[in-house]
Structure 1
Amino acid sequence: MSLGIIWNNEQAEYEIKDSLITLLESILQKAAEAEGIIKGEVDLTFVDNERIHELNREYRGIDRPTDVLSFAMNEAGEDEPEIIYEVEEDEELEEFPDMLGDIIISVTRAQEQALEYGHSLERELGFLFVHGFLHLLGYDHQDDASEAEMMSKQEQVLIQVGLTR
């Protein structure tokens, strides 16, 4: 199994420690295994409420902060712009066949929700990460049945890594 996280920290409210990234990598392994994904890469960015608000407004037309956004690399919706790569004559086009997509988490919102739900910040960040990962794979929660399926999958992964409520 060849899975990995490339992560960036664009917020100053919470120190992102190696132990958190190790935990998220474990979550990625468990979630991918459950979904039959054997290789891939996820680009994870930690932001604050201001930045996720901007992204939510720009990409979803929703003018408020949210907790997590996911942008799948393999989405091909009718409103998606075609990506055109410009390469020099002697260059090869570099493709990213294993890139699953981007997950952006508001650490500010995660802290608020952890307090609200009465569990640790690590559990909330883990929940948001697996939630975002499942969105990358095409899961959604537009109706009760799909929401129940997604919640069940998320909880199973979190239990496996010891992040219970």
Structure 2
Amino acid sequence: MSQIVFENNTQHKIDISFIQKVASDLTNKEIELIFTTDEEMKDINFNTRGIDKSTDVLSFPYDEMPHVPLGSIVISSNFVEDKAKLYKHSFEDEFALLFIHGILHLLGYDHETDSGEHRKKEEELICKFSLPKSLIVRVEEE
């Protein structure tokens, strides 16, 4: 079973038990999960990628070595709020959708370079965990 080390830098109360189930289905490695504000996300995105704007989720895989965590996932609270309202589902569901997107990046999936494997795996997990299909819809629209 994977362990999630959770850092919540927002005012939101987050129950990560569902996220823990998703993570444990995919890996037994530790994952650092940071839930943060839009401003901090913008800073992280600029400092790590040179992009001076916020984003919904960032993933930082660690080098594969024994006893080393899988990596870090950073999720923006503002994006979770906005997308949940836009797609008319719960805050918790949107949080889970972004977590799935992020953990798949940690596991080596990359929708920008693969032949659809990332999106296919997201769709599989969304169905398996009975999550809203909005992530599938919005990535197909990109």
- The secondary structure found in structure 2 opposite 1:3 is coil
1:84-95 mapped onto 2 (5 Å cutoff): none
- Root-mean-square deviation (Å): 1.8
> How many angstroms apart in 2 are the aligned matches of 1:29 and 1:158?
15
Contact map agreement 1:3 1:41 (CA 8 A) in 2: yes
Residue type of the alignment partner of 1:66: T
Equivalent of 2:80 in 110, 117, 122: 110
Residue type of the alignment partner of 1:136: L
Q: Which runs of 5+ in 2 are unaligned?
A: 134-142
Residue of structure 2 in register with 1:60 after alignment: 49
User: How far off is 1:161 after superposition?
Assistant: 2.0
Contact map agreement 1:26 1:161 (CA 8 A) in 2: no
> How many angstroms apart in 2 are the aligned matches of 1:96 and 1:106?
30
Equivalent of 2:16 in 21, 28, 53: 21
Q: Which runs of 5+ in 1 are unaligned?
A: 76-94
Contact map agreement 2:62 2:68 (CA 8 A) in 1: no
Contact map agreement 1:69 1:103 (CA 8 A) in 2: yes
> How many angstroms apart in 2 are the aligned matches of 1:68 and 1:49?
11
User: How far off is 1:25 after superposition?
Assistant: 0.6
- The secondary structure found in structure 2 opposite 1:70 is strand
Larger radius of gyration: 1
Counting aligned pairs with the same residue, the percent is 36
Matched, 1:163 2:128: no
Aligned residues: 133
After TM superposition, which residue ranges in structure 1, 4 or more long, deviate above 6 angstroms?
Answer: none
Contact map agreement 2:8 2:35 (CA 8 A) in 1: yes
- Per the normalisation by structure 1, the TM-score is 0.74
* CA deviation vs aligned residue, 1:67-108 (integer Å, no higher than 9, x gap): 011110127xxxxxxxxxxxxxxxxxxx86240000010011
- The secondary structure found in structure 2 opposite 1:99 is coil
Residue of structure 2 in register with 1:152 after alignment: 120
* CA deviation vs aligned residue, 1:96-141 (integer Å, no higher than 9, x gap): 6240000010011111011122222112111110111111111111
